[in-house]
Structure 1
Amino acid sequence: MAATESVAVAPTAPVARPAKPRARMMRQYDLVERVRSYNPNTNEDLLNRAYVYAMKAHGSQTRASGDPYFSHPLEVAAILTDLKLDDATIVAALLHDTIEDTEATRAEIDQIFGPEIGALVEGLTKLKRLELVSREAKQAENLRKLLLAIADDVRVLLVKLADRLHNMRTLDFVPTESRRRIAEETLDIYAPLAGLMGMQEMREELEDLSFRTLDPEAYTVVMQRLDALAERNRNLIGEIEDQLSNNLRHRGLGARVYGRRKKPFSIWTKMERKSIGFEQLSDIFGFRVVVNDIESCYRALGIVHTTWPVVPGRFKDYISTPKQNDYRSIHTTVIGPGNQRVELQIRTEEMDQIAERGIAAHAFYKEGAGSPTEFLKRESNAFAWLRHTIGILSESANPEEFLEHTKLELFHDQVFCFTPKGKLIALPRHANVIDFAYAVHTDVGNSAVGCKINGKFAPLSSELQNGDEVEVLTSEAQAAPPSAWETLAVTGKARAAIRRATRTAVRDQYVGLGRRIVERLFERAKIEYADDKLKGALPRLARTSIEDVMAAVGRGEIKASHVARAMYPDYKEERVARYGVKKGLAAKLKEKSSEPPRSPVAIPIGGINSDLPVKFAPNGGAVPGDRIVGIVTPGEGITIYPIQAPALKDFEEEPERWLDVRWDIEDSVPQRFPARIRVENVNEPGALAQIATVIAEHDGNIDNISMQRRSPDFTETTIDLEVYDLKHLSAILAQLRAKAVVARVERVNG
């Protein structure tokens, strides 16, 4: 799905369309009068020129409904006049499809209407000829372009939302196979974007239009129930409005009170989320109390709470702690007339405007306010947060990852938590301490090792609640977070940071491994290695930095000998003669102490926590005391095998992958290593317990057990152990052989 895909272009083949009477298209003077009604200083000439230019550019193009295509940008402009936006935004709405769907160019629009409007139109133009395989990748790249344009100028978002709203209003004319896809995209991306910018009225309409398309049966049922309920409660709603108004007026407080019912999509999602029926909903109708100033909000709250009983746990103060999208209001629920639950939102006129129109409630056309984007940087938390989030998302490594992180980061309800110093941190619902740590700072997240929630120690995966005070405990010893954290994190920022840190850590491992391989080769060849000399040879290796070269060597993409030859063209690799096929390479290596057939570079190998990308043979492992061989797998690192492992035969025809390695273990820091044993034991009660007891008494750790009945009297038990070294493993084997229930025991090498 292309994120900025227009649904207005006429189909190439005829489709069945519902009959619709043609509406009169808005004339030039109609548009000018709409703008003049809220902006007396409008540039009429600019609006007229844009109207004529767009109409001529789209020419005879038609929409899926059969209407002239120009009716679409005209309706988009009309939606934006309802939001009272500035001339440049209205003109951009008229021109928003010209670069994409007509012969118009950015240069021409810049010349006629100026670079400001040209930039707006360019930001609304989806990328053409994307050479990407998947629809998701195309959708993500177009969404990335749109969001980056929004970060530069918020008016791009306002035009795009109006564009999508008109497309959704006319979705019935679109071919059936496209309708669902467009509605899903609207529900996933554009409705939440409107909500994030505080444009609740537009969000609700986008959601309901999508809901009607995606689940028409459910939509119809909810609407029928709502209409029936409204008819039954018509007098009650008026009674509640009158009582509220009278009580406030008698206490000397003037207020505008009105009731409204929730939208079908909001009701349906609540029924789905809480698994309840329509009859069980108690907050279908809500009432707004709009007063003159903030002090009056709290006075009104006091009057309401002293008049009717309060429903416990249903009070929220978004005036003292606004939402991230600048929403401010006091929410409370009381038992009102007729013992009905009454939801109240108490706010000022300005708050009411921002609650419905969000960032569009700011008067962009006022003189002296500066550019809309600069103005919102100062005035709007929502836009500042969006720009910051877009900056983080733009660092995603690939289109699909960007799309995933966008949906995770942008489209969640929020909880509010605090640092020990009182700083407010807004997070999505279900976020945990890991998300909190990365919200504070990336370095805090990367080095987090523990936490306290409200003064008590808790796991880092603990879900946070509104009002929690969170202290993150860090350690300089943790250079990078565990990669498993990515599955625990909820926010896109945390996931992106963890993925980035993991990639960096893995790359650093490959760089370290590559550097060791190269330096050992140069040492054995008795030639000088220097970074400065390698820097001059980078073009011959088709790499841009020394780190890129070392990482490629570590991953097995470049041989160390190629690096030597790039730096010293006269260098000749000393090749080790191939062993005869008759006996096999691995067998010869077990008999001899000669080097494996790769450049004779011995690399020291630590344990599982080594700073090199090392893993041990999957079937049997290896322990200190074994003679070991490393097999390099490009992109995966080194797999360590004991020299007696039968699996090494699989690599005899690939000598370039063999690497001579040796143990480099610190005695002061004991580490366990993987080994596998096979026990043939008598099939009698308690046999397995005796075997496990021997292993435990000798400080071995059982990682996995599998059992297979070989005969009525004997069971074959395969045990994956963790031991310190070969001596430790041999002691365990000896003790097992001494048990009467054990017929035979041996070590298994994969």
Structure 2
Amino acid sequence: MMRQYELLERVNRYNPAADEALLNKAYVYAMHKHGTQVRASGDPYFSHPLEVAAILTDLRLDDATIAVALLHDTIEDTDATRAEIDEMFGPEIGKLVEGLTKIKRLDLVSTRAKQAENFRKLLLAIADDVRVLLVKLADRLHNMRTIRYVPPHKRIAVAEETMEIYGPLAGRMGMQEVREELEELAFRVLNPEAYEAITARLENMRTRNASLIQDIESDLTTRLAENGMQARVSGREKRPYSIFRKMQRKSVSFEQLSDLYGFRVVVDTIDDCYRVLGVIHTTWPTVPGRFKDYISTPKQNDYRSIHTTVVGPSRQRVELQIRTRGMHRVAEYGIAAHALYTDREGGGRNIARLTADSRAYEWLRHTIDLLSEGDNPEEFLENTKLELFHDQVFCFTPKGRLIALPRGATAIDFAYAVHTDVGNTCVGCKVNGRIMPIMTELKNGDEVEIIRSKAQTPPAAWEALAVTGKARAAIRRATREAVRQQYSGLGRHIVERAFQRSGKPLGTEDLEHAVSRLGQPGVEDLLSAVGRGELSSNDVLRAVYPIDVAETEARPAKKAPVRKPKPAASEQGGSLPIRGIEGDLPVRFSPDVGAVPGDRIVGILMPGEGVTIYPIQSPALKEFDDQSERWIDVRWDIDESDPPRFPTQISVAAINEPGSLAQITQAISEADGNIDNIKMLARGNDFHEMIIDLEVHDLKHLTRIIQGLRALPVISEAQRVNG
């Protein structure tokens, strides 16, 4: 276990003005609090926060972050409290330690929900101070380095979480070295057979090509020096997980991979980067389609380099990355590279707080914006996972704005990346000037123009087509809002009719007064609750007129009158059309009897369902006799030039002889009827009875079909069900 003085030495190497008193106090406090606790390996528990602190010294972080690393498990695993840490180390360190503390007492139904809520809490803390992320990644890295001591069932869960969340999160923050090690350790746990196989192949390849890396390094360094450029050239094999991922993505075997070696060329200036590129491309043949310039177009995690692949010595493909020293520091340490030395008064030097002006941190703030929209923790975790995987394509708006999207993204994702309102009103797209399907997968360099309509709302099916978390979350919110408005419209109808029946006036102020009494956030929420059937219209009436309603209810109840059939829609004024009932309420026909044009019809408000259309003669209407506020006068609204079909049922009794069913279906077909279903009710020696579900244009069409059936010699009886 690292000694106290050894930790101070590590910090003093890059920060001679370190606050040794703070670090000593944190060391002693954490060691005392963890006391005799031990890890699964049998080592003292305090060895873990010490190793986390050591990892952060490699990133050259400030004294407060090193102290937080020493203290990060004290609130969670000991009797230490936030108040005590605030008192001893100050509120800044206390806040950071609390941000790293998992939520223990959660009343959640699943482990996944608990994981999601803890992750939400962590990201909120990271958004407030990015040093929380750096400590968390170092914590996870040390836990993965010692994961062999964890029980197997827990080992798998930790490795999966590392692979799905923390590895990609490190990558999105530009911390490539940390990401690669996290993924490598997780891969070793999750797929040990593949790890061992690839490692063995790499060892064989290393034996065969023992001097290849050294030869290329030497050759390239010499050629650059001949052209007046000083450069540091280093080469290495690709890591096993990187190789495995490429084999999976391209569906190739290990032997088919041709670029297993990677080289980095680090120079002083951007101008030198492009001069190096010229030397490389005039020395070795390039591989077409394998050139990327991330200097002119940086990745979202601030990564900048030139990538190219050439056919080097021994006809071996090699990848090269060309960058400046500053770019290399960002590529290795990511957001941690933004730690800046600043001179303080008195000649001391300290590391300032990490700056939040990086593109990677901007992405993190964007992710927190998604969280603030009100999605539940599990949806947030799902959306964040989608955002983490950062293989990207770069597309442009017609005005030249660059939009970075995950590989596989569609025009839907592009629209939401521009702005949520653009996505919600998207009806089509043009890709490179051509009208294309909205689900078109975008490629690097595509220019995308979104076609919009104010009347559009995103279909719920888009959620399955979207790739980005932002698009999915926005579509889900828009769908919820559309459903909410639909229920709100239905609830308004029900409430207005209840007030009309009682003879009481209803205004917006009355509903606002009822909101608090009924425990609803707002008027629209109240109406939605009525539309969903969670509140009754009488509850609203009582909330607005509590005394009057109480007096009415105290009177002797009268027998509800039997409701007479309402007159046909054509005899009523101000009737609602079936299509486009105000408020865009959902409309459906009674599943039992249906209705066809020519029938006198009535609409019944169904809480949570919309409006159901019944023929006026339907026996099912008896159950609504005492609920007059739910009855709506409706009319047919038929385009006679293109009449649609409507559902209905007929019952048929036919002679039981071969070919009788064929005659029935032929007669219906010749009369232009459409059979949906045939259900046999009874079958005897002489007759069989059946119910036939039909689709017809109108009542005249139905009558013609029934008359045609009755004319058949095999038919004993044919009539409309409930007609």
Return the TM-score normalized by structure 2: 0.87
Change (3 A) 1:48 1:513: same
Q: Deviations over 1:525-550 (max 9, x none)?
A: 32221222332333332323222221
Q: State the shift of 1:735 in Å.
A: 9.9
Matches within 5 A, 1:199-238: 199-238=175-214
CA distance in 2, matches of 1:99, 1:329: 42
Change (3 A) 1:746 1:115: farther
1:241 aligns to 2:217 (yes or no): yes
Q: State the shift of 1:391 in Å.
A: 1.4
User: Which residue number corresponds to residue 319 of structure 1?
Assistant: 295
User: Which residue number corresponds to residue 71 of structure 1?
Assistant: 47
User: Which residue number corresponds to residue 13 of structure 1?
Assistant: none
| Contact kept? 1:85, 1:363, Cα under 8 Å | yes
1:308 aligns to 2:284 (yes or no): yes
CA distance in 2, matches of 1:382, 1:671: 58
User: Which residue number corresponds to residue 509 of structure 2?
Assistant: 532
Q: Could you tell me which of 414, 428, 432 is aligned with 2:410?
A: 432
Change (3 A) 1:49 1:385: same
1:197 aligns to 2:168 (yes or no): no
Change (3 A) 1:550 1:246: same
Q: State the shift of 1:628 in Å.
A: 4.6
CA distance in 2, matches of 1:42, 1:623: 85
Q: Could you tell me which of 366, 369, 372 is aligned with 2:353?
A: 372
Secondary structure in 2 aligned to 1:57? helix
Q: State the shift of 1:235 in Å.
A: 1.4
Secondary structure in 1 aligned to 2:308? strand
CA distance in 1, matches of 2:402, 2:714: 63
| Contact kept? 1:694, 1:735, Cα under 8 Å | no
Secondary structure in 1 aligned to 2:455? coil
CA distance in 1, matches of 2:64, 2:536: 59
Change (3 A) 1:228 1:471: same
Matches within 5 A, 1:75-86: 75-86=51-62
1:509 aligns to 2:509 (yes or no): no
Matches within 5 A, 1:644-683: 648=620, 652=623, 659-663=630-634, 672=644, 674-676=646-648
CA distance in 2, matches of 1:738, 1:253: 99
1:142 aligns to 2:125 (yes or no): no
| Contact kept? 1:314, 1:331, Cα under 8 Å | yes
1:461 aligns to 2:476 (yes or no): no
Q: Could you tell me which of 237, 241, 262 is aligned with 1:261?
A: 237
1:250 aligns to 2:221 (yes or no): no
1:406 aligns to 2:379 (yes or no): no
Q: State the shift of 1:90 in Å.
A: 0.8
Secondary structure in 1 aligned to 2:548? coil
| Contact kept? 1:197, 1:359, Cα under 8 Å | yes
CA distance in 1, matches of 2:625, 2:195: 64
Secondary structure in 2 aligned to 1:406? helix
Q: Residue type matched to 2:26 in 1?
A: A
User: Which residue number corresponds to residue 4 of structure 1?
Assistant: none
Secondary structure in 2 aligned to 1:570? helix
Q: Residue type matched to 1:486 in 2?
A: E
CA distance in 2, matches of 1:122, 1:741: 87
Q: Residue type matched to 1:550 in 2?
A: L
Q: Residue type matched to 2:538 in 1?
A: S
Q: Could you tell me which of 371, 375, 388 is aligned with 2:366?
A: 388
| Contact kept? 1:450, 1:472, Cα under 8 Å | yes
Q: State the shift of 1:205 in Å.
A: 0.7
User: Which residue number corresponds to residue 316 of structure 2?
Assistant: 340
1:114 aligns to 2:90 (yes or no): yes
Q: Residue type matched to 1:436 in 2?
A: F
Matches within 5 A, 1:728-743: 730=702, 733=705
Q: Could you tell me which of 76, 86, 111 is aligned with 1:100?
A: 76
User: Which residue number corresponds to residue 571 of structure 2?
Assistant: none
Q: State the shift of 1:413 in Å.
A: 1.8
Secondary structure in 2 aligned to 1:536? helix
1:443 aligns to 2:414 (yes or no): no
1:607 aligns to 2:583 (yes or no): no
Secondary structure in 1 aligned to 2:400? coil
| Contact kept? 2:601, 2:613, Cα under 8 Å | yes
User: Which residue number corresponds to residue 20 of structure 1?
Assistant: none
Q: Residue type matched to 1:420 in 2?
A: P
CA distance in 2, matches of 1:238, 1:245: 11
User: Which residue number corresponds to residue 570 of structure 2?
Assistant: none
Percent identical among aligned pairs is 59
Change (3 A) 1:192 1:522: same
Question: Which segment is superposed worse, 238-247 or 257-266?
Answer: 238-247
Q: Could you tell me which of 430, 447, 452 is aligned with 1:452?
A: 430
1:593 aligns to 2:565 (yes or no): yes
CA distance in 2, matches of 1:483, 1:267: 38
Q: State the shift of 1:258 in Å.
A: 1.3
CA distance in 1, matches of 2:82, 2:445: 49
User: Which residue number corresponds to residue 493 of structure 1?
Assistant: 470
| Contact kept? 2:267, 2:323, Cα under 8 Å | yes
User: Which residue number corresponds to residue 56 of structure 1?
Assistant: 32
Change (3 A) 1:623 1:474: farther
Secondary structure in 1 aligned to 2:236? strand
Q: Deviations over 1:594-644 (max 9, x none)?
A: 69xxxxxx9946327861244444466445554455566554444444455
CA distance in 2, matches of 1:522, 1:417: 56
1:470 aligns to 2:461 (yes or no): no
Q: State the shift of 1:52 in Å.
A: 0.8
Secondary structure in 1 aligned to 2:265? strand
Question: Which segment is superposed worse, 329-338 or 525-534?
Answer: 525-534
Q: Deviations over 1:703-740 (max 9, x none)?
A: x95578999x99989666485xx457548847976999
Q: Residue type matched to 2:66 in 1?
A: I
Q: State the shift of 1:46 in Å.
A: 0.9
RMSD: 3.5
Secondary structure in 1 aligned to 2:394? strand
Q: State the shift of 1:175 in Å.
A: 1.4
Q: Residue type matched to 1:663 in 2?
A: V
Q: Residue type matched to 1:61 in 2?
A: Q
CA distance in 1, matches of 2:489, 2:351: 52
Question: Which segment is superposed worse, 171-180 or 139-148?
Answer: 171-180
Question: Which segment is superposed worse, 347-356 or 676-685?
Answer: 676-685
Change (3 A) 1:169 1:548: same
Q: Residue type matched to 2:524 in 1?
A: E
CA distance in 2, matches of 1:412, 1:121: 29
CA distance in 2, matches of 1:229, 1:749: 82
1:519 aligns to 2:496 (yes or no): yes
CA distance in 2, matches of 1:741, 1:448: 59
User: Which residue number corresponds to residue 563 of structure 1?
Assistant: 540
CA distance in 1, matches of 2:53, 2:625: 67
Q: State the shift of 1:645 in Å.
A: 5.6
| Contact kept? 2:594, 2:649, Cα under 8 Å | no
| Contact kept? 2:595, 2:646, Cα under 8 Å | yes
User: Which residue number corresponds to residue 415 of structure 1?
Assistant: 393
Q: Residue type matched to 1:422 in 2?
A: G
Q: State the shift of 1:749 in Å.
A: 7.8
CA distance in 2, matches of 1:468, 1:424: 10
Q: Residue type matched to 1:122 in 2?
A: E
Change (3 A) 1:348 1:112: same
CA distance in 2, matches of 1:741, 1:255: 100
Q: Could you tell me which of 265, 277, 282 is aligned with 1:289?
A: 265
| Contact kept? 1:285, 1:343, Cα under 8 Å | yes
Q: Could you tell me which of 138, 141, 150 is aligned with 1:165?
A: 141
Return the TM-score normalized by structure 1: 0.84
Q: State the shift of 1:419 in Å.
A: 0.6
CA distance in 2, matches of 1:510, 1:90: 54
Q: Residue type matched to 2:54 in 1?
A: A
Change (3 A) 1:280 1:570: same
